[in-house]
Structure 1
Amino acid sequence: MIDKSTLWIVIIGLGVGSFLLRFAFTGFVGDRQMPAGLLRHLRYTAVAVLPALVAPQVLWPAATGGEPDPARLAAAAAALAVGLLTKNVLAAMFAGGLTLYGMLYLLG
Protein backbone atom coordinates (compact mmCIF):
# COMPACT_ATOMS: atom_id res chain seq x y z
CA MET A 1 0.00 0.00 0.00
CA ILE A 2 1.00 3.56 -0.62
CA ASP A 3 1.32 5.79 2.42
CA LYS A 4 -1.28 8.50 2.92
CA SER A 5 1.01 11.50 2.47
CA THR A 6 2.24 10.24 -0.91
CA LEU A 7 -1.33 9.51 -1.97
CA TRP A 8 -2.49 13.04 -1.10
CA ILE A 9 0.51 14.59 -2.84
CA VAL A 10 -0.35 12.64 -6.00
CA ILE A 11 -4.07 13.55 -5.78
CA ILE A 12 -3.35 17.25 -5.25
CA GLY A 13 -0.69 17.24 -7.98
CA LEU A 14 -3.07 15.64 -10.47
CA GLY A 15 -5.81 18.11 -9.56
CA VAL A 16 -3.51 21.10 -10.02
CA GLY A 17 -2.14 19.67 -13.27
CA SER A 18 -5.65 19.05 -14.61
CA PHE A 19 -6.71 22.57 -13.68
CA LEU A 20 -3.66 24.11 -15.34
CA LEU A 21 -4.22 22.15 -18.55
CA ARG A 22 -7.82 23.31 -18.77
CA PHE A 23 -6.95 26.87 -17.73
CA ALA A 24 -4.20 27.08 -20.34
CA PHE A 25 -6.78 26.40 -23.02
CA THR A 26 -9.70 28.51 -21.81
CA GLY A 27 -8.35 30.90 -19.19
CA PHE A 28 -5.70 32.54 -21.31
CA VAL A 29 -8.16 33.15 -24.14
CA GLY A 30 -10.20 35.48 -21.95
CA ASP A 31 -12.66 37.61 -23.90
CA ARG A 32 -10.87 37.20 -27.21
CA GLN A 33 -12.59 35.47 -30.10
CA MET A 34 -11.31 31.96 -30.81
CA PRO A 35 -10.20 31.22 -34.36
CA ALA A 36 -12.89 29.75 -36.61
CA GLY A 37 -10.78 26.66 -37.34
CA LEU A 38 -10.43 25.87 -33.65
CA LEU A 39 -14.15 26.30 -33.02
CA ARG A 40 -14.91 24.02 -35.96
CA HIS A 41 -12.71 21.29 -34.49
CA LEU A 42 -14.11 21.71 -30.97
CA ARG A 43 -17.59 20.85 -32.23
CA TYR A 44 -16.39 17.30 -32.90
CA THR A 45 -14.84 16.67 -29.48
CA ALA A 46 -17.90 14.99 -27.95
CA VAL A 47 -18.47 13.00 -31.12
CA ALA A 48 -14.93 11.63 -30.86
CA VAL A 49 -14.87 11.05 -27.09
CA LEU A 50 -18.11 9.08 -26.73
CA PRO A 51 -17.17 6.28 -29.16
CA ALA A 52 -13.72 6.11 -27.58
CA LEU A 53 -15.35 5.48 -24.20
CA VAL A 54 -17.94 3.00 -25.47
CA ALA A 55 -15.97 0.91 -28.00
CA PRO A 56 -13.75 -0.92 -25.47
CA GLN A 57 -16.82 -1.86 -23.42
CA VAL A 58 -18.47 -3.32 -26.52
CA LEU A 59 -15.49 -5.10 -28.04
CA TRP A 60 -13.65 -6.21 -24.88
CA PRO A 61 -16.23 -6.16 -22.05
CA ALA A 62 -14.93 -6.95 -18.59
CA ALA A 63 -18.19 -8.76 -17.80
CA THR A 64 -17.27 -11.54 -20.25
CA GLY A 65 -13.55 -11.66 -19.51
CA GLY A 66 -12.69 -9.55 -22.55
CA GLU A 67 -14.53 -11.71 -25.09
CA PRO A 68 -17.04 -9.96 -27.36
CA ASP A 69 -20.56 -11.27 -26.94
CA PRO A 70 -23.68 -11.00 -29.12
CA ALA A 71 -25.72 -9.06 -26.57
CA ARG A 72 -23.34 -6.12 -26.40
CA LEU A 73 -22.70 -6.12 -30.14
CA ALA A 74 -26.46 -6.12 -30.81
CA ALA A 75 -26.98 -3.30 -28.30
CA ALA A 76 -24.27 -1.22 -29.95
CA ALA A 77 -25.75 -1.87 -33.39
CA ALA A 78 -29.25 -0.95 -32.19
CA ALA A 79 -28.03 2.26 -30.56
CA LEU A 80 -26.08 3.19 -33.68
CA ALA A 81 -29.04 2.49 -35.98
CA VAL A 82 -31.55 4.41 -33.85
CA GLY A 83 -29.10 7.28 -33.44
CA LEU A 84 -28.51 7.54 -37.17
CA LEU A 85 -32.21 7.31 -38.01
CA THR A 86 -33.62 9.62 -35.34
CA LYS A 87 -30.66 11.91 -34.56
CA ASN A 88 -31.81 11.62 -30.94
CA VAL A 89 -29.23 10.68 -28.31
CA LEU A 90 -31.77 9.64 -25.68
CA ALA A 91 -33.63 7.40 -28.12
CA ALA A 92 -30.34 5.76 -29.10
CA MET A 93 -29.39 5.21 -25.45
CA PHE A 94 -32.77 3.70 -24.60
CA ALA A 95 -32.70 1.47 -27.69
CA GLY A 96 -29.22 0.23 -26.83
CA GLY A 97 -30.12 -0.35 -23.19
CA LEU A 98 -33.33 -2.18 -23.99
CA THR A 99 -31.57 -4.30 -26.59
CA LEU A 100 -28.76 -5.15 -24.17
CA TYR A 101 -31.10 -6.22 -21.38
CA GLY A 102 -33.39 -8.04 -23.78
CA MET A 103 -30.52 -9.98 -25.35
CA LEU A 104 -29.00 -10.80 -21.96
CA TYR A 105 -32.41 -12.13 -20.87
CA LEU A 106 -32.85 -14.18 -24.04
CA LEU A 107 -29.32 -15.57 -24.06
CA GLY A 108 -29.37 -16.43 -20.39
Structure 2
Amino acid sequence: MIDKGDIWLTVLALGAGSYLLRFVFIGLVGDRPMPAWLLRHLRYTAVAVLPALIAPMVLWPPATGGAIDLPRLAAAAAATAVAWRTHSVIGSILAGGGTLYLGLWLVG
Protein backbone atom coordinates (compact mmCIF):
# COMPACT_ATOMS: atom_id res chain seq x y z
CA MET A 1 0.00 0.00 0.00
CA ILE A 2 1.05 3.53 -0.65
CA ASP A 3 1.18 5.86 2.30
CA LYS A 4 -1.67 8.39 2.39
CA GLY A 5 0.82 11.20 2.97
CA ASP A 6 2.64 10.30 -0.25
CA ILE A 7 -0.61 10.27 -2.20
CA TRP A 8 -1.64 13.69 -0.89
CA LEU A 9 1.82 15.10 -1.55
CA THR A 10 1.61 13.84 -5.14
CA VAL A 11 -1.91 15.24 -5.61
CA LEU A 12 -0.92 18.64 -4.23
CA ALA A 13 2.29 18.77 -6.28
CA LEU A 14 0.46 17.89 -9.48
CA GLY A 15 -2.27 20.41 -8.70
CA ALA A 16 0.27 23.18 -8.07
CA GLY A 17 2.16 22.28 -11.26
CA SER A 18 -1.03 22.32 -13.30
CA TYR A 19 -2.06 25.66 -11.81
CA LEU A 20 1.33 27.22 -12.51
CA LEU A 21 1.39 25.96 -16.08
CA ARG A 22 -2.07 27.41 -16.75
CA PHE A 23 -1.21 30.65 -14.96
CA VAL A 24 1.77 31.22 -17.25
CA PHE A 25 -0.50 31.24 -20.29
CA ILE A 26 -3.61 32.85 -18.84
CA GLY A 27 -2.23 35.18 -16.19
CA LEU A 28 1.03 36.32 -17.72
CA VAL A 29 0.38 36.06 -21.46
CA GLY A 30 -3.43 36.26 -21.55
CA ASP A 31 -3.70 40.01 -22.10
CA ARG A 32 -0.92 40.27 -24.70
CA PRO A 33 -1.26 39.50 -28.40
CA MET A 34 0.51 36.32 -29.41
CA PRO A 35 2.78 36.21 -32.44
CA ALA A 36 1.32 34.81 -35.66
CA TRP A 37 3.81 31.92 -35.77
CA LEU A 38 2.73 30.75 -32.30
CA LEU A 39 -0.97 30.94 -33.15
CA ARG A 40 -0.29 28.97 -36.33
CA HIS A 41 1.37 26.19 -34.30
CA LEU A 42 -1.33 26.17 -31.62
CA ARG A 43 -3.98 25.35 -34.24
CA TYR A 44 -2.45 21.89 -34.58
CA THR A 45 -2.53 21.01 -30.88
CA ALA A 46 -5.83 19.10 -30.98
CA VAL A 47 -4.85 17.40 -34.23
CA ALA A 48 -1.70 16.10 -32.55
CA VAL A 49 -3.14 15.25 -29.13
CA LEU A 50 -6.34 13.39 -30.08
CA PRO A 51 -4.68 10.70 -32.24
CA ALA A 52 -2.04 10.23 -29.55
CA LEU A 53 -4.80 9.52 -27.03
CA ILE A 54 -6.90 7.32 -29.30
CA ALA A 55 -4.28 5.21 -31.12
CA PRO A 56 -3.11 3.17 -28.08
CA MET A 57 -6.73 2.40 -27.16
CA VAL A 58 -7.34 1.05 -30.67
CA LEU A 59 -4.07 -0.79 -31.27
CA TRP A 60 -3.46 -2.17 -27.75
CA PRO A 61 -6.86 -2.13 -26.01
CA PRO A 62 -6.87 -2.95 -22.30
CA ALA A 63 -10.14 -4.87 -22.77
CA THR A 64 -8.28 -7.56 -24.72
CA GLY A 65 -5.13 -7.57 -22.63
CA GLY A 66 -3.26 -5.54 -25.22
CA ALA A 67 -3.92 -7.85 -28.17
CA ILE A 68 -4.93 -6.30 -31.49
CA ASP A 69 -8.68 -6.68 -31.95
CA LEU A 70 -10.42 -6.65 -35.34
CA PRO A 71 -13.73 -5.13 -34.13
CA ARG A 72 -11.90 -2.17 -32.59
CA LEU A 73 -9.83 -1.61 -35.71
CA ALA A 74 -12.98 -1.77 -37.85
CA ALA A 75 -14.75 0.69 -35.54
CA ALA A 76 -11.83 3.11 -35.73
CA ALA A 77 -11.77 2.81 -39.53
CA ALA A 78 -15.53 3.39 -39.75
CA ALA A 79 -15.39 6.43 -37.46
CA THR A 80 -12.45 7.85 -39.41
CA ALA A 81 -14.18 7.31 -42.76
CA VAL A 82 -17.42 8.94 -41.62
CA ALA A 83 -15.55 11.86 -40.04
CA TRP A 84 -13.48 12.39 -43.17
CA ARG A 85 -16.50 12.18 -45.47
CA THR A 86 -19.12 14.12 -43.48
CA HIS A 87 -17.11 16.19 -40.94
CA SER A 88 -19.73 15.18 -38.38
CA VAL A 89 -18.63 14.39 -34.85
CA ILE A 90 -21.94 12.77 -33.92
CA GLY A 91 -21.96 10.75 -37.12
CA SER A 92 -18.46 9.43 -36.56
CA ILE A 93 -19.24 8.55 -32.94
CA LEU A 94 -22.37 6.68 -33.99
CA ALA A 95 -20.57 4.91 -36.85
CA GLY A 96 -17.67 3.87 -34.63
CA GLY A 97 -19.91 2.78 -31.76
CA GLY A 98 -22.28 0.89 -34.05
CA THR A 99 -19.43 -0.86 -35.82
CA LEU A 100 -17.81 -1.79 -32.52
CA TYR A 101 -21.08 -3.13 -31.11
CA LEU A 102 -21.80 -5.11 -34.29
CA GLY A 103 -18.23 -6.42 -34.48
CA LEU A 104 -18.19 -7.56 -30.85
CA TRP A 105 -21.61 -9.16 -31.32
CA LEU A 106 -20.45 -11.04 -34.42
CA VAL A 107 -17.20 -12.22 -32.85
CA GLY A 108 -18.98 -13.24 -29.68
Which of the five TM-score ranges fits, normalised by the shorter chain? over 0.9
Query: What's 1:43 paired with?
Result: 43
What amino acid sits opposite 1:61 in the alignment?
P
Q: CA deviation at 1:77?
A: 0.3
CA distance in 1, matches of 2:62, 2:92: 23
Normalised TM-score (structure 2): 0.93
Question: 5+ residue gaps in structure 1?
Answer: none
- Most deviating of 1-10 and 11-20: 1-10
Question: 5+ residue gaps in structure 2?
Answer: none
Query: What's 2:59 paired with?
Result: 59
- Percent identity (aligned): 65
CA distance in 1, matches of 2:43, 2:93: 21
CA distance in 2, matches of 1:42, 1:93: 25
Corresponding residue pairs, total:
108
CA distance in 1, matches of 2:31, 2:68: 48
Structure 1 runs (4+) deviating above 2 angstroms are none
Matches within 5 A, 1:1-108: 1-108=1-108
SS at match of 1:24: helix
Q: CA deviation at 1:45?
A: 1.0
